[in-house]
Structure 1
């Protein structure tokens, strides 16, 4: 009788345990799902490979949903240096700053006056458990202007000088170009960008943004006072210079006329030419004499 009672009690406990699992399992599942639903997460629909030029402010945008009581930090990957945590900056380099409007999900790292050395990987991190991070790549490039042709140009007085400054296409608006003669800015106006209007627009600047950035400085009816150092100074690139020589008549140097380079030319007087020919004959005869003398000596 006791054995049967024990058996019944055992069966009852097994059934009771099974029912408790059925009741408790959904509860535990809901609790786990609710916990996962409260975790923060990144918005991946942002640009994470940014290219800027030297001096152009860069912005790395990190968007975090459901942050709750967690904090966002920006880390420079190459040296694991903490740049910002929350709204506070943790670097002495004042070029770095986090921008976050009140109650916004945007945590933007701003880099002012970036240099080539700032290129690399940056991480946006959430101090959750486990820690969450999203990587960004910053590329800082240095644009350089280039004036086509040689660094010294020679033109005849009265001809036209054309200097063409070219900047390859960058990742953004390339700005504009200023021209200097020495330390003096060549003032320009809208559209035709003409200066010296009293001289019937003798000097003009034309800028074209079609393929990269191209700026042309044109000087009509060049005079000797136009001789000097000319510099193309872009707002978004390093400058480039040439030296223009305006001369009267032919000159023993490379000549530029109407934007083209003419071959090297040398002008000699008739007396100098006769002397040069006589010198060549003398050298030839001396060489022949030495050959004959050597033969006789043998």
Structure 2
């Protein structure tokens, strides 16, 4: 036993033991890599007479709730003579449900359709009025030999409006009301956006005048700026930014006169004075107990 213990302290034996442990730990990791690799896209072989997928570059699709999603699948070298035996199908991986085969839909959910113009290589899956539940992986399969499959990841987001600043705004009478609304969106899903005061949509051509909107659109968001010049007491109320197919956002605007503004500031400063008085009493109590 002493000989074995002494042998373990030999540098060469320690090095061999360390290498053996490293090899033992790395074997499962290599196995996992092989599993991950096997789950990747099976493109098929180019420069052959067999069907294969066109390179998409990105297999992630993002859609907004309520909008249409198009999942791409372009199959090259799909000979019409093989149409009787070679089929293009869409499978939902979550439940392995067959959604479509060729141009036919095999689900009772009528939101799923195949976009396949005649004599084209496109076999895209269209999902109208997307919901959160539609998020997940969908697989475009071609029943060639060998079978090829293309997984597409669908990400679903909700469009939501946000008015910058506090939920209540106090403005002096005669000043300009400036409200900025930001909506997360995608360039192809940018819809209309309206402003409301109460339940009435603002009319930019109303006799009141001085009402205008500036809109800026980028691939990721829409920004709408509302301006009302010469604010009057009648302009007070709830202002709502209401985009199409998105959750609205509301801010309450108070238009006040000079003396009312001073009263608002006085009322807002009362809690701070109370806190200061409470702090003073706590300090006096602590000093009295010493």
TM-score by length of structure 1 reads: 0.65
Alpha-carbon distance, 1:180 to partner:
0.9
Moved more, 166-175 or 213-222: 166-175
Larger Rg: 1
Contact 1:47 1:61 in 2 (8 A): no
> What is the Cα deviation at residue 170 of structure 1?
3.5
Cα distance between partner residues in 2 of 1:66 and 1:99: 16
Which of 59, 66, 84 pairs up with 2:70? 59
CA–CA separation in structure 1 for the residues paired with 2:182 and 2:147: 48
List aligned pairs for 1:136-151, cutoff 5 A. Answer: 136-151=152-167
Find 1:133's aligned residue among 127, 149, 164: 149
- Structure 1 pair 152/61, CA: closer, same or farther in 2 (3 Å)? same
Unaligned runs of 5+ in 1: 1-35, 189-194, 256-263, 269-279, 292-298
- Specify the alignment match of 1:216 in structure 2: 225
The CA RMSD over aligned residues, in Å, is: 3.3
Q: Does 1:102 align with 2:103?
A: no
Following the alignment from structure 1 to structure 2, what is the Cα–Cα distance between the partners of residues 209 and 104?
Answer: 33
| Contact 2:172–2:261 under 8 Å retained in 1 | no
Secondary structure, aligned partner of 2:133:
helix
Q: Which residue of 1 aligns with 2:140?
A: 124
Q: Any conservation in 2 of the 1:146–1:165 contact (CA below 8 Å)?
A: yes
Partner Cα separation in structure 2 for residue 63 and residue 75 of structure 1: 15
Would the alpha carbon gap of residues 132 and 247 (structure 1) be closer, same or farther in structure 2, given more than 3 Å must change?
same
Pairing 1:71–2:87 present: yes
* Cα separation, 1, equivalents of 2:148 and 2:250: 50
Q: String of CA shifts for 1:54-92, please: whole Å, max 9, x gaps.
A: 222111221222242311110011111111112111111
Alignment correspondent of 1:153: 169
In 2, distance between residues paired with 1:37 and 1:223? 74
Counterpart in 2 of 1:205?
213
Whole-angstrom CA distance in 1 between matches of 2:105 and 2:58 = 23
1:247 aligns to 2:256 (yes or no):
yes
- TM-score when normalising by structure 2: 0.67
Q: Is the 8 A contact 1:143 1:170 kept in 2?
A: no
Say yes or no: does 1:227 pair with 2:228: no
**Cα 1:126/1:142, change in 2 over 3 Å:** same
For residues 59 and 102 of structure 2, what CA distance do their matches in structure 1 show?
Answer: 20
